[in-house]
Amino acid sequence: MQSIYDFKTTTLNGTPADMSEWRGKVVLIVNTASKCGFTPQYKGLEAVYEKYKDQGFAVLGFPCNQFGAQEPGNAEDIGAFCEKNFGVSFPLFEKIDVNGEQAHPLFTHLKQQAPGVLGTEGIKWNFTKFLVGKDGKVIDRFAPTTKPESLQELIEHALQA
């Protein structure tokens, strides 16, 4: 069975990244957007990242423009927006698709490991979250409406596992 460590991606600034860089960490993977009603969740994502990063936790943000064209900017625009408006310091990656034929293989894997409501794999909107354990396996999937701060108990439990 694959884990997230089997995938490669590219950072927002164009640097290749291997997901194995996060081996042994608890990771929250999120598809993000700058012009979404859930965009203020960047603040909560940054807060949980800051609180737990020194304990082996990471937030990984993957901008996506598939839902209402709410991430229209280029990499420079996205990075500047996130830093200026929300002080984002967690890693951001290149804009990707999370559904359809062009879906990034990492998200195809995440969706297979943690299907949504009634077993559907498709991601319904921006800020869907996947909590991944230290072993690289998906612990759970969370809806866009789930606030990052509400995941603290689960993050702490995963960090202690």
**Would the pTM count as exceeding 0.85?**
yes
User: Which pLDDT score, from 0 to 100, does residue 104 have?
Assistant: 95
Q: How high is the pLDDT of residue 161? A: 87
Confidence (pLDDT) at 159: 97
pLDDT at 117: 72
Domain ranges (residues) in the chain: 4-160
Catalytic residue among 26, 28, 30, 36: 36
Domain 4-160 homologous superfamily, CATH = Glutaredoxin (3.40.30.10)
The string of DSSP codes covering 73-104 is S-HHHHHHHHHHHH---S-BB--BB-SSTTB-
Q: What is the pLDDT of residue 115?
A: 81
pLDDT of residue 127: 96
How many other CB atoms sit within 10 Å of the CB of residue 31? 27
Residue 120 has a pLDDT of 76
Assess whether 36 carries a catalytic annotation. Answer: yes
Residue 25 has φ and ψ, to the nearest 5°, of -110, 155
pLDDT of residue 1: 60
Task: Output the pLDDT for position 122.
Answer: 86
Spatial CB neighbours of 99, under 8 Å, sequence gap ≥ 6: 66, 107, 122, 123
Residues of the chain with pLDDT under 70: 1
